[in-house]
Amino acid sequence: MSIKFDYANLLKNKKIQCGVSIAEIENNRHLCDQARIRFEKEYAMNILGFHDLPDYNVEHIVSYIESIEKDYDDMVVLGIGGSALGNKAIYNSLKTVKKLNKRLFVMDNVDPLLIEDIMSQVDLQRTLFNVITKSGTTAETMSTFLIVLDILKKKCPDTYKKQIIVTTDKEKGFLRQLIKEDGYMDFIVPDSVGGRFSVLTDVGLVSSAFIGVDIKALLKGAANMRKRCSNKDIWQNPAYLNAMLHYLYMQKGKNMSVMMPYTNALYDFADWYRQLWAESLGKRYNIDGALVEVGQTPIKALGTTDQHSQIQLYAEGPNDKVISFLTVEKFDYDYKIANIFPNNDEVNYLADKNISELLLAERLATEIALTNAGRPNCNIIFPELNEYNIGEFIYLYELQTVIAGYFLDINPLDQPGVEAGKIATYALMGKKGFAEQAKEIHEYNQEKTRNGRII
Ligand code: PA5
Asked if 5 contacts 380 with a C-beta cutoff of 8 angstroms, the reply is: yes
Read off the pLDDT of each residue in 369-385 and give the average, rounded to a whole number.
98
C-beta of 53 in contact with ligand 1 (< 6 A): no
Q: Give the number of the atom of ligand 1 that is nearest the alpha carbon of residue 138.
A: 15
In this structure, the answer to whether residues 206 and 289 fall within a common structural domain is no
Considering the domain architecture, whether residues 231 and 328 belong to the same structural domain is answered as yes
User: Looking at the structure, do residues 128 and 181 belong to the same domain, yes or no?
Assistant: yes
Ligand 1 atom, smallest distance to 135 CA: 14
From 279, 367, 392, 398, active-site residue: 279
Find out whether the beta carbon of 410 lies less than 6 Å from any atom of ligand 1.
no
Average pLDDT over residues 88-117: 97
Model pTM score: 0.96
pLDDT, position 449: 87
Distance 218 CA to ligand 1 centre (A): 22
How remote is the CA of residue 83 from the centroid of ligand 1, in Å? Answer: 6
Kindly give, in sequence order, each residue whose CB lies less than 8 Å from that of residue 294, ignoring residues fewer than 6 positions away: 250, 281, 282, 283, 286, 408, 410
67 and 37 in a common domain: no
* 301 within domain boundaries: yes
| Exposure string over 294-303, b if 16+ CB within 10 A, otherwise e | bbbebbbbbb
HSE, CB side, 13 Å, CA atoms: give it for residue 344.
Answer: 8
For position 238, what pLDDT does the model report?
A: 98
Range of the domain at 259: 4-43+221-407
pLDDT of amino acid 173: 86
Range with the lowest mean pLDDT among 208-212, 381-385, 427-431? 427-431
Q: Which amino acid is at 152?
A: L
User: Which of 184, 218, 252 is where one domain is finished?
Assistant: 218
User: Is there a single domain that holds both residue 191 and residue 171?
Assistant: yes
Ligand 1 centre distance from Cα of residue 185 (Å): 21
Among 77, 134, 167, 196, name the best residue to mutate to test ligand 1's pocket (greatest count of ligand atoms within 8 A of Cβ).
134
210, 329: one domain: no
Give yes or no for a contact between 166 and 131, defined as CB atoms under 8 angstroms apart.
Answer: yes
51-73 residues labelled b (16+ CB within 10 A) or e (exposed) = bebbebebeebeebbeeeeeebe
Instruction: Kindly state if the Cβ of 163 falls inside 6 Å of ligand 1.
Output: no
Within a domain: residue 74? yes
Work out whether the CA dihedral 273, 279, 280, 286 comes out positive or negative: positive
Q: Which of 369, 385, 407 is the last residue of a domain?
A: 407
d(CA 152, CA 118): 14
At residue 455, the pLDDT reads 80
In a domain, 454, yes or no: no
CB 330 within 8 A of CB 360: no
Condensed to tens digits (0 to 9), the pLDDT of residues 33-54 reads: 999 999 999 999 999 999 999 9
Would 287 be classed as within a structural domain? Answer: yes
312-336 burial code (b ≥16 CB/10 A, e <16) = eebbeeebbbbbbbbbbeebeeeee
Taking the centre of ligand 1 as the mean of its atom positions, its distance from the CA of residue 207, in whole angstroms, is 17
Cα(427) to ligand 1 centroid in Å equals 19
User: Please, is 288 exposed, middle or buried when counting C-beta atoms within 10 Å of its C-beta (0-12, 13-18, 19+)?
Assistant: exposed
Confidence at residue 71, expressed as pLDDT on a 0 to 100 scale? 97
pLDDT the model gives residue 451: 86
How close are the terminal C-alpha atoms of the chain, in Å? Answer: 59
Mean pLDDT, residues 433-455 taken together: 89
Segment 141-161, tens digit of pLDDT: 999 999 999 999 999 999 999
Does the pLDDT at position 372 exceed 90? Answer: yes
pLDDT of 184-201, one tens digit each?
Answer: 999 999 999 999 999 999
Atom of ligand 1 nearest to the CA of 197: 1
Residues 201 and 263 in one domain: no
- For the chain, helix (H) and strand (E) counts, in that order, are 17, 12
pLDDT more than 70, % of the chain: 100
Q: Give me Rg for the CA atoms of the chain.
A: 24
Task: Give the three-state DSSP class for 48.
Answer: coil
Q: Is residue 453 in some structural domain?
A: no
In terms of domains, do 364 and 401 share one?
A: yes
CATH number, domain with residue 95: 3.40.50.10490
Neighbours of 436 (CB within 10 A): 9
375 C-beta closer than 6 A to ligand 1 = no
Averaged confidence pLDDT in the chain: 96
Mean predicted confidence (pLDDT) in 69-85: 97
pLDDT band at 453 (very low <50, low <70, confident <90, very high): confident
Residue 279 a catalytic site member: yes
Indicate if ligand 1 lies below 6 Å from the C-beta of 80.
yes
- Residue 420 has what pLDDT? 84
Q: Which residues contact 159 (CB under 8 A, 6 or more apart)?
A: 125
pLDDT tens-digit series, residues 235-281? 999 999 999 999 999 999 999 999 999 999 999 999 999 999 999 99
Instruction: Let me know whether 169 and 133 are in one domain.
Output: yes
Residues 207 and 233 in one domain: no
DSSP state of 201: S
Shortest CA distance to 380 belongs to which of 215, 262, 256? 262
Q: Which of 202, 218, 234 is the last residue of a domain?
A: 218
Q: Is 86 in the pocket of ligand 1 (CB under 6 A)?
A: no
Is the C-beta atom of 127 inside 6 A of ligand 1? no
Decide if 422 is catalytic. yes
Ligand 1 touching residue 194 (CB < 6 A): yes
Task: Determine, yes or no, domain membership for 437.
Answer: no
Q: Residue 421: pLDDT above 90?
A: no
Cβ of residue 278 lying under 6 Å from some atom of ligand 1: no
Out of 14, 70, 154, 308, the active site residue is 308
Question: For 19, which DSSP code?
Answer: P
Shared-domain flag, residues 134 and 283: no
What pLDDT score was predicted for residue 210? Answer: 98
Peptide linkage before 327 cis (omega within 30 of 0): no
Pairing of strands 185-188, 164-168: parallel
Mutate to test the pocket of ligand 1, among 78, 83, 398 (most ligand atoms within 8 A of CB): 83
Q: Is 81 in the pocket of ligand 1 (CB under 6 A)?
A: yes
Specify the number of domains making up the chain: 2
- Tell me, yes or no, whether 63 and 39 share the same domain: no
Q: How far is CA 297 from CA 263, 308, 321, 375, 418, in A?
A: 22, 22, 9, 16, 16
Cα 226 from Cα 311, distance rounded (Å): 33
51 is catalytic: no
Question: Which stretch of DSSP H or E encloses residue 450?
Answer: helix 435-451
What pLDDT, in 10s, does the model give residues 6-37?
Answer: 999 999 999 999 999 999 999 999 999 999 99
DSSP 20: B
Residue 445 belongs to some domain of the structure: no
pLDDT, tens digit, 9 for 90 and up, residues 335-358? 999 999 999 999 999 999 999 999
- Flag whether pLDDT at 317 surpasses 90: yes
Q: Is the CB of 418 under 6 A from ligand 1?
A: yes
Please report whether residue 432 resides in a domain: no
* Rounded-to-10 torsion of CA 215, 217, 218, 223: 130
Give the atom of ligand 1 at the shortest distance from the alpha carbon of 168.
13
**HEC sequence for 271-301:** HHHHHHHHHHHCEEECCCCCEEEECCEEEEC
Distances (CA, A) of 21 to 116, 248, 269: 53, 10, 29
